[in-house]
Amino acid sequence: MALAITEEHADLSGVVREFAVEQGARAAARRAAVDPPVPGADPDPLWKQSAGLGWTGLHLPEEHGGSGYGLPELAVVLEGLGREVHGGPLLPTAVASALVARHGTDEQRAALLPGLADGSTPASLAVAGSIGSDGRGDAGPALGAVWAALHLVRSGDDVVVLRGDAVRVSARDGLDPSLGVAAVAVEGSGEVLVGAAASATRLLRVLAAAEAAGGARATLDMALAYAKVREQFGRIIGSFQAIKHHLADMQVRSELAVATAWDAARAEGDDGQADLAAATAAAVAVDAYLQNARMNIQVHGGIGFTWEHDAHLYLRRATALSALAAPLDAATADVAARVAAGVRRKHDVALPPEAERFRTTAREFAQRYRSAAEGEKRRLALEEGYLVPHWRRPFGREAGPVEQLVLEQELVGLGLPNYGIGGWVLLTLTQTASPEQIERWVRPGLLGEQVWCQLFSEPGAGSDAAAVQTRGVKVDGGWRVTGQKVWTSGAQFCQRGLATIRTNPDASKHAGITAMVIDLTAPEVTVRPLKEITGHSMFNEVFFDDVFVPDEDVVGEPGAGWGVARATLANERVSIGGQRAGFSARKLLGLVDRHTPGDIGLTRQVGALIAEEAGIELLNLRAVERAVIGAEPSVEGNVSKLLGAEHGQRVSELGMRIAGAAAVTGGEPDLTLNYLYQRAMTIAGGTSEVSRNVIAERILGLPREAIMN
């Protein structure tokens, strides 16, 4: 929901947002739109107040008047102010001071940083263009130029710092006057920050992405608030599925913006990782802000198109940031270029001291496991809780987030089994079955003596898991079950399945369901594999022809099966959300090299998908970081299934375009197979449409769609 994860950052974020609201940052942006500032004007009073709070020097060394923090804290400030479309010279001044601190000489730092830190010397920034080698010429549009006492302009690989008397500033009719953009022509000499141009681009992208993350969230909140109260056709518009899906997509974009901006602010070093993270954030976060700002107006309808409404202020800001601070084409091209050059973003989660204790025990187990006889390895892992370490004892170790992270690192390569769907079912049994049932089913399942599947979907139900028509009739000692299940993954290899059965047709839809374990080896059960569009058979139809299910195989109470099903579906959706795309976006770069070398347009599209893929991984990383430090969970996990499924399709579809004829004539068989397979991913485990409804209703709090007579 916000960049801040730690308690300290959350406190800072709260202070910034309270300040921006109470001091009328949005009203200042509106004033600038009505009466644009001209060169030589004083910044809005909010500038001095921000400087007085120390935000202009937050990231600078204390010996030069700063607070000694870093880019992560500055990003938190920019995000909070971005929620109220705060303008003024903070963005260019913050980048300027960071450049001086990093690339300036001792003399330059001593001379320039105190005024930048205390706000008495606002700065402008122009890095999109470049002045000539003679140090003269048009520097192009500069952020904050109308107020600036210092002007930083690009000159090749360097950045030149110029005083006001060395430049000519010309006002322009800009889309967002609150940013103080003006044309800067260099007419005198200045001081050179050697090799600072790349840093300028990176820092501007990072801080623009942080502001964009705030703006993307603000526009979502604005649209959401309106959708909850506006009525049309006698209904709240937020109950319409079309509006829900718009808002769910805004939520997804907002989460991606936060995740990528957060990572870019943390990235350090000169190995290309920081530049890759910044380009990724620029490609994802700033574009997310722009799309959300547009959709905010759409959701508001006519009122959103009026000057009086604030929606256009956000649209102006998002568009200006996209053009001046983080152009999408340049960012996606940079992502592709850096990944093609072998740069990979590496993430290390800081673990507490107890991690070493877990590491020692894990290594000792790994040694015993490798030494054990082949037929005893799985039993040894089960006895010591390493098959499913996050489960409760006696099957798992009740491993918390720290131990789970250590085990992922230490047990890689051991070949421990992945239970897939069977694991979701077995975990559900530990949560809902009787002790006798747990002993009878779970241990054999974990040892591989029984393979399990999930028997929920039916021909007339699909994603509506409660629309069960398979009937169970009570008989002496148990139930007679008749009906059909479909889309059952791996049923042809399974001996047991957890099924939802309609046992009370007179009860309400959710109350008349009973959960039962079906013996798939019974003669009354027929499993028929379904040949899919890939030519393979992963799914199955399963027919029950008066199969007998004893009472001791009923899980929970009769009629209470929906709760059992919901537990399994929760396990399933979390697991699916954690999966990565079957055909990574990075592989598309090889396709470009083979089939469309030099096509910059396709390369940029690949870069956009690589950035999106990184954002999905970062959502999971943020969830891990929260868990490790004990912070409250956020909503990252709720959007990952939707994102992952649709991302996988976008990757395979672009791959087919790149490969062209080769993709349909056998030249790229892995790509072609993945392209066909990915069609299932927005259906399996709940369709993308259902996922959007879940996000809209359970996370955003929108009402369910009314059933029309």
Distance CA 675, CA 667 (A): 14
Structural tokens at position 659:
């490969």
Question: CB 615: neighbour CB atoms within 10 A?
Answer: 27
Helix or strand (DSSP H, E) at 502: strand 496-502
Query: Which residue from 631, 606, 635, 632 is spatially nearest to 620, judged by alpha carbons?
Result: 635
DSSP 8-state symbol, 698: I
Q: Which of 255, 458, 572, 668 is an active site residue?
A: 572
User: Could you tell me the two tokens for 672?
Assistant: 């072609």
Rounded Cα gap, residues 708 and 499, in angstroms = 32
- What is the widest separation between alpha-carbon atoms in the chain? 99
Fill in the DSSP letter of residue 460: T
- Evaluate whether 649 touches 678 at the Cβ level (below 8 Å): yes
Please tell me the distance from the alpha carbon of residue 56 to that of residue 144, in angstroms, as a whole number. 14
Active-site residue 572, yes or no?
A: yes
CA 407 to CA 16: how far, in whole Å? 39
Q: Write a three-state SS string for 190-242.
A: CEEECCCHHHHHHHHHHHHHHHHHHHHHHHHHHHHHHHCCCEECCEEHHHCHH
Give the separation between CA 305 and CA 302, rounded to whole angstroms. Answer: 5
Reduced to 3 states, what is the DSSP secondary structure of residue 184? strand
348 dihedral zone (left: phi>0; alpha: psi -120 to 50; beta): beta
Nearest to 147 by CA among 172, 129, 169, 114: 169
Asked if 588 and 655 touch (Cβ cutoff 8 Å), the reply is yes
C-alpha span between 399 and 318 (Å, rounded): 44
Say if residues 210 and 81 touch (Cβ distance below 8 Å): no
| 48 exposure class (CB count in 10 Å sphere: 0-12, 13-18, 19+) | middle
Question: How does DSSP classify residue 581?
Answer: P
The residue ranges of DSSP E strands in 45-163, in sequence order, are 123-126, 137-142, 150-155, 158-163
Label residue 613 left, alpha or beta by phi (over 0 means left) and psi (-120 to 50 means alpha).
Answer: alpha
3-state helix, strand, coil in the chain (%, to 5): 55, 15, 35
Residues 6+ apart with CB under 8 A from 65: 57, 113, 114, 117, 118
Round to whole Å and give the CA distance between 595 and 659. 6
Q: Of 500, 535, 525, 494, nearest to 514 (Cα)?
A: 500
Q: Map tokens 């991984």 to a residue.
A: 617
d(CA 108, CA 393): 62
- Rounded Cα gap, residues 144 and 147, in angstroms: 6
User: Buried b / exposed e across 125-141, counting CB within 10 Å, b at 16+?
Assistant: bbbbebbeeebebbbbb
Residues designated catalytic: 572
